[in-house]
Structure 1
Amino acid sequence: MSRPLRVVFAGTPDFAASSLAALLESRHSVVAVYTQPDRPAGRGRRLTASPVKALALEHGLPVLQPETLKPSDVQAELAGFEADIMVVVAYGLILPQAVLDIPPRGCLNVHASLLPRWRGAAPIQRAIEAGDRESGVTIMRMDAGLDTGDMLLVRRTPISATTTGGELHDTLAALGGDAMVEALDALSEDRLTATPQPEEGVTYAAKLSKAEAELDFHQPAESLAAKVRAFNPWPVTWCALGKERLRLLMATASTRRVGDSPQPPGTLLEHDPEALRIACGPQGDEVLHVTRAQLPGGKPLPVRDLLNARGERLAPGSRLGNSAEETS
């Protein structure tokens, strides 16, 4: 068997910690960990270590947290670890070309999409929002571009009609760790082939923002349902409920019942026992079927529990969304 690789790992959030955990269980040796500086978090805004830092410290690994990798002394310190390769997963800092050139075997990245589709910051959520039927991870050799490097390994997973952003995140995090170990094993034995990304099929996954989370019920039911699932658990879609907000956490597009007539978008139709039915679409003739939601001041609950406890706030015929205020 070939010699295990010496690895410098760079990553920050939970998604990256899954890859670090997989590497720590592999035959390869993690010699140092780079992660973002501690950031304020929680109600008290206390400085909090990243999930990657916490895991690295549990295993007694050297942890480095530079604000940037551009200074020459920072690059010299990185070179001093004499790693064969650098593994980068959701690190959050740009790697200058000088850093990419330090490890003899280069820098590898776990990207949470089937490249070249969904390059960029939010590939998991954008895939669900767009109605993609599958996602996956790509192990990529990094270059100076934005997720443009050669592909080394691809692993796929389906997206179902109920997959949420959080569920796909967790699936891809585990898949990414396994795929990276597989790629390092193959690389150490010189049996890994690099494939340039095709020029066709490139899309970009823009960073998520809270401003996107408000639902417009004039949109088609399929689009709204996909957005609800994609934005769970963050930033969570919502609509106006009077002067407050109703948060929607699980939804599918539903067919109209016999006897349903088109209603203004945002109108609550007769409920199912387990769901809210909201008129939507340009003509108000489509239905968004919501099974999990959160009323103001309450906890996220199955809709059947919301209807049992506070159903008067969600009476059929009521209007949701800003359009209700405009016509009131």
Structure 2
Amino acid sequence: MRVVFAGTPEFAAVALEALLQAGFTIPLVLTQPDRPAGRGMKLQASAVKQRALAAGIPVAQPQGLKLDGKYAADAVAARDALQAAQADVMVVAAYGLILPQWVLDLPPRGCLNIHASLLPRWRGAAPIHRAIEAGDAETGVTIMQMDAGLDTGAMCVIERLAIRADDTTATLHDRLAALGGRLIVEALEMAACGGLPQTPQPAEGVTYAHKIDKAESAIDWCQPAADIERRLRAFDPFPGGVATLAGETLKVWRAEAAIGAGSPGHVIAVDEGGPVVACGSGALRLTELQRPGGKRAPAATLMHAHPIGVGQSFDVSAPPA
């Protein structure tokens, strides 16, 4: 089976590697154009492009796929490359571009998407973050037959995965990426044998995982402690939590439930683990912080040079993100 692959970040690169290890022929890879990154803002290839080039696979990086859109020339070039690839199926994982109908119709077996949620829950751009933020007990990966809707296609293969109490988006991402790589190999093997099931998604239980906005990093101390703690884990490694203390903006990366109560944002205790801050209900011990220009560090380490004392108060109004 000839497989065209479309994806961009590390989540997708793991799936590409799984397909290569399984021996599938991949004549072409589509990925996002190189983007500026790092302190020098130099152009950097996506994780998928790096893996594809290492394997000697041709790479196309169209800025758009609409044949009548702003990047029509790119779309036409991509169409020519896809037609020349003569693929049986396209596998899509966190590609970053909406596939127009002409792409969906091109491969004889259509396009299969690796989606990191239990569809129809958490359709959209940020399913891993939103599952943790919402306090879901489990998530998983759905291999979906793509259609013109936003993650609305029929479900082919689905497997559940428990969300651990200490999971961050980073840790859960890695387990889901590995699961996605395994499931897409299984799905393609089933398709090759003519036995890939397709179950329509139920109309009930649809939720949308909207893209993470950096402004969401502002901590609202009036929220319950449990909600804030989940958001911190959901926003690790991006964008983290942001709070202002004595005019200084701090990043808050990790926190844990603590005993205590008080006015939201007030530091009600300080111990070897870090400062304890009152929330709308309950309290949190902030265990990992970052000062402007500094690195993430245990709160106890940071406080040696920059003490935080009982009675101080984090700003309750939204700090700058």
TM-score (norm 2): 0.93
Write out per-residue CA displacement over residues 97-149 of structure 1, whole angstroms, 9 at most, x where no aligned residue.
11100101110001111110000111110111111111111110100000000
Measured in 2, the distance between the counterparts of 1:272 and 1:183 equals 51
Q: Secondary structure at the match of 2:302?
A: helix
Q: Is the alpha carbon distance of 1:268 and 1:116 closer, same or farther for their aligned partners in structure 2, counting shifts above 3 Å?
A: same
Matched, 1:155 2:149: no
Deviation at 1:323, TM superposition (A): 4.7
The superposition leaves residues 173-221 of structure 1 with CA deviations (integer Å, 9 ceiling, x where unpaired) of 1111111111111111122211111100000011111111000100011
Structure 1 gap segments, 5+ residues each? 257-261
Distance 1:66 1:297 in 2: 36
**One of 172, 176, 192 as aligned partner of 1:188:** 192
Change (3 A) 1:97 1:227: same
| Number of the residue aligned with 2:17 | 21
Q: Corresponding residue for 1:263?
A: 262
Give the corresponding residue for 2:278: 279
Matched residues in 2 for 1:214 and 1:73: separation?
43
Partner of 1:259: none
Q: Is the 8 A contact 2:264 2:316 kept in 1?
A: no
Deviation for aligned residue 1:238: 1.1
Contact 1:266 1:324 in 2 (8 A): no
- Tell me, yes or no, if structure 1 residue 225 matches structure 2 residue 229: yes
Counterpart of 2:56 in structure 1 is: 60
The count of aligned residue pairs is 311
Is the Cα contact below 8 Å between 1:69 and 1:95 reproduced in 2?
Answer: yes
Matches of 1:232 and 1:141 in 2, distance apart? Answer: 30
Query: Match of 1:321?
Result: 315
Residue 75, structure 1, aligned to residue 79, structure 2: yes
2:206 is the counterpart of 1:210: no
| Secondary structure of 1:36 counterpart | coil
| Residue of structure 2 equivalent to 1:141 | 145
Q: Aligned AA for 1:15? A: F
Tell me the CA shift for residue 33 of structure 1. 0.5
Partners in 2 of 1:192 and 1:275 — Cα distance? 52
Q: Does 1:123 align with 2:127?
A: yes
Q: Measure the CA separation in 1 of the matches of 2:311 and 2:248.
A: 18
Quote the RMSD (CA, aligned, Å).
1.6
Whether the 8 Å contact between 2:220 and 2:318 is mirrored in structure 1 is no
TM superposition shift of 1:272: 3.2
Read off the aligned partner of 2:305 and give its amino acid letter.
R
Question: 8 Å contact 2:273–2:285 — kept in the other structure?
Answer: no
Give the C-alpha shift of residue 299 in structure 1: 1.6
Give, as a single letter, the amino acid of the residue that structure 2 aligns with 1:321. D
Corresponding residue to 1:302 among 282, 285, 298 = 298
Paired position in structure 1 for 2:89 = 85
Q: Identify the range of structure 1 (266-275 vs 86-95) with the bigger mean alpha-carbon deviation.
A: 266-275
SS of the residue corresponding to residue 296 of structure 1 reads coil
Q: Is the 8 A contact 2:30 2:59 kept in 1?
A: yes
1:25 shift after superposition: 0.2
Q: What pairs up with 1:231-250 in 2 under 5 angstroms? A: 231-250=235-254
Alpha-carbon distance in 2 for matches of 1:18, 1:59: 13
Query: How much has 1:254 moved relative to structure 2?
Result: 3.1
Separation in 1 of the partners of 2:311 and 2:86?
Answer: 68
Contact 1:161–1:252 under 8 Å retained in 2: no
Deviations 1:223-254 (A, max 9, x none): 10000110011011110012211211112333
Percentage identity across paired residues of the two chains = 53
- 8 Å contact from structure 2 (residues 218, 318) kept in 1: no
Match of 1:40 among 36, 39, 47: 36
> What secondary structure does 1:193 align onto?
coil
Q: Per the alignment, do residues 324 and 115 of structure 1 end up closer, same or farther by CA in structure 2, a change over 3 Å counting? A: closer
Q: Give, in whole Å, the separation in 2 of the partners of 1:102 and 1:130.
A: 37
**2: CA distance, partners of 1:81 / 1:61:** 11
In 1, are the aligned partners of 2:222 and 2:316 still within 8 Å (CA)?
no
Partner Cα separation in structure 1 for residue 151 and residue 50 of structure 2: 27
Q: What SS class does the counterpart of residue 15 from structure 1 fall into?
A: helix
Q: Contact conserved, 1:83 with 1:103, CA < 8 A, in 2? A: yes
* Preserved contact between residue 128 and residue 165 of structure 1 (Cα < 8 Å): yes
Residues 240 and 320 of structure 1 are in contact (CA less than 8 Å); yes or no, is this contact kept in structure 2?
yes
More displaced 10-residue stretch of structure 1: 157-166 or 69-78: 69-78
Counterpart contact for 1:252–1:288, Cα < 8 Å: yes
Aligned equivalent of 1:102, options 100, 106, 113: 106
Contact kept, 8 Å, 1:31 with 1:81, in 2: the verdict is: yes
**Counterpart residue number, 2:2:** 6
